[in-house]
Amino acid sequence: MKGKRLWFYISFFVIVAILFTVALYWGTDNWKAKPAVMNNVKPFAFETQDGRNFTRQNMIGKVCVVEYFFTHCTGICPHLNTNMKEVYNEFKDHPDFLIMSHTCDPERDSASQLKHYSDSLKIDNNKWVFLTGRKDSLYKAARESYLLDDPKNALQNINDQFIHTQFWAVVDKNGMVRGQIFDGLKKDEIAQMEDLVKELLKEKVGPTNTNFILN
């Protein structure tokens, strides 16, 4: 009799625990797996189109979409930034959203040139920043932080290198690259990216719940 009673209480508490867990997560996204952490953004210092210093610290608390382009490009860049403008329009009113467009040709894309380009887009320069700086620093960030170019390309002489990529990265409020790398020329991947941005905007600044180990 005592054995049956013990099993009754154990079963009862197990059922209560299950019901409590279901009630806790019901109607929320807490049960879903978090988007994977792919990398952490390394420290950097660049210059915006307004001549302001921009570092990794300026990203903290923001969900950032990151791209590389150059202003005199007549190939994929105009298409990329037409698509990026749509992303900007979708999220421009959210206080925790930011687009970061790095030039891959800093010799020609000075801060004033980037300002002229950004003004032509009629955007809020606080919501979409255009960044220039040293070529080696810009390229190092693309490869080692945002995973937008093959690190093996860094073996070439920096003067012979030129990044020309259609891929975008998404960085969370803690400075971590999340989810996957997206093709900015493919509408289906852009839609997936926007879903990721919406999910990351709900997260708070703090430890990321993943098993990623920082180097």
Confirm whether 207 is domain-assigned: no
209 — pLDDT class (breaks 50, 70, 90): very low
pLDDT at 115 over 90: yes
Which CATH number characterizes residue 52's domain? 3.40.30.10
206 — pLDDT class (breaks 50, 70, 90): confident
Confirm whether 91 is domain-assigned: yes
How many domains, in total, are found in the chain?
A: 1
116 annotated among ligand-binding-site residues:
no
pLDDT at 194 over 70: yes
124-173 pLDDT tens trace: 999 999 999 999 999 999 999 999 998 888 878 888 899 999 999 999 99
164 annotated among ligand-binding-site residues:
yes
29 — pLDDT class (breaks 50, 70, 90): low
Confirm whether 9 is domain-assigned: no
pLDDT at 153: 83
Q: What per-residue string of b and e applies to 3-40 under the rule 16 or more CB within 10 Å gives b?
A: eeeeeeeeeeeeeeeeeeeeeeeeeeeeeeebbebbbb
26 — pLDDT class (breaks 50, 70, 90): low
User: Mean pLDDT score of the chain, rounded to an integer?
Assistant: 87
pLDDT at 33: 79
Confirm whether 20 is domain-assigned: no
72 annotated among ligand-binding-site residues:
no
Domain extent at residue 61: 37-201
Nearest-angstrom CA–CA distance, 26 and 47: 45
52-85 pLDDT tens trace: 999 999 999 999 999 999 999 999 999 999 999 9
pLDDT at 214 over 80: no
Say if CB 82 and CB 187 are below 8 A apart: no
- The answer for residues whose C-beta is within 8 angstroms of residue 150's C-beta and 6 or more apart is 143
Confirm whether 152 is domain-assigned: yes
